[in-house]
Chains A and B, each alone.
Chain A
Amino acid sequence: MAEMVIKKKRPKNLDLMSIKLPLPGVLSIIHRIAGAVLFLLMPVLLWLFQSSLTSPETFAIFKSVVAHPLVRLVLLGLIWLFLHHFCAGIRYLLLDLHKGIDLASARLSSWIVFAVSLAMTLIIGVKVLW
């Protein structure tokens, strides 16, 4: 049988002001927001990629665009979102394999995701963008 009725009444609290989202929850919503933001900016990123590869002239345009401090700041933000999605994604793949599913290790791995993605963002920011 594929259908099943869950009758159990569970306590429900959806008051966003009183909910304190635990760290794995924060990780999860940033993972989703990162995916959405990267999707929305895809045409801009594809345009940048195209400009960088088409001709020396468009490459010069690409370089001048990414030289702008505000663009660099946005790119750094996007790199962080990508790396967060990357690290959190690896964590999810491990959870799928039932690795680290108890509360303590799930919290620890969330801390690791934040630490590693932020550290990688800093390294790339320093090495590539500045």
Chain B
Amino acid sequence: MVNRIVVGAHYGLKDWIIQRATAIILALYTVLFLAVVGAVGPDSFEAWRGIFASGFMKFATFLFFISLFWHTWIGIRDIWMDYAKPDGLRLLLIIATAAVLVGYTGWSIQILWRV
């Protein structure tokens, strides 16, 4: 057993918690989404669009996307830290990951608020 103080310095406790908090939001949204699609049974463009036109689903879906991209950021960064050994390459991959995820965030907002 290694006892160490996990607060104060950058031990990744914040990321560890966010990974799990976003995971719970993603899981809850998945259940909500399946329940709503199961109840509405969208069989046309109007019905499908109607799901995301409601204020609540727009909010929930937005929360889902934010959680998804944050969760992805931590997970993919972990993968680069495990396998991408040359520092330069690792830095490049981490920056590229952050960049595309910020882009996806803007894109998902645009998709949702055009409905």
Contacts and interface: CB of A to CB of B under 8 A. Distances in A.
The finding on whether chains A and B are genuine partners in a shared complex, rather than unrelated, reads yes
Interface of A: 1-4, 6, 32, 35-36, 38-39, 42-43, 46, 49-50, 52-54, 56, 59, 86, 89-90, 93, 96
Contacts of B48: 52-53, 59
Given A52-B48, A90-B27, A93-B23, 20 more contacts: A1-B4, A2-B4, A2-B9, A32-B79, A35-B79, A36-B79, A39-B72, A42-B100, A46-B104, A46-B107, A53-B48, A53-B49, A53-B115, A59-B45, A59-B48, A86-B26, A86-B27, A89-B27, A93-B20, A96-B20
B114 interface: yes
B25 to A, nearest CB: 12
B62 interface: no
Contacts of B45: 56, 59
Contacts of A4: 2, 4
Interface of B: 2, 4-5, 9, 20, 23-24, 26-27, 30, 45, 48-49, 52, 72, 75-76, 79, 97, 100, 104, 107-108, 111, 114-115
Contacts of B9: 2
13 contacts: A1-B4, A2-B4, A2-B5, A32-B75, A35-B72, A35-B75, A39-B72, A39-B75, A46-B108, A49-B111, A53-B49, A53-B52, A86-B26
Nearest to B82: A32
Contacts of B4: 1-4
Contacts of A42: 72, 100, 104
Please report whether the interface of chain B is mostly helix, strand, loop or mixed according to DSSP. Answer: helix
Contacts of A90: 27
A2 B10 CA distance: 12
B2 A35 contact: no
A96 B17 CA distance: 11
A120 to B, nearest CB: 9
A89 B104 contact: no
Nearest to B24: A93
B111 A46 contact: yes
Which of A1, A3, A52 has the most chain B CB within a 10 Å cutoff? A52
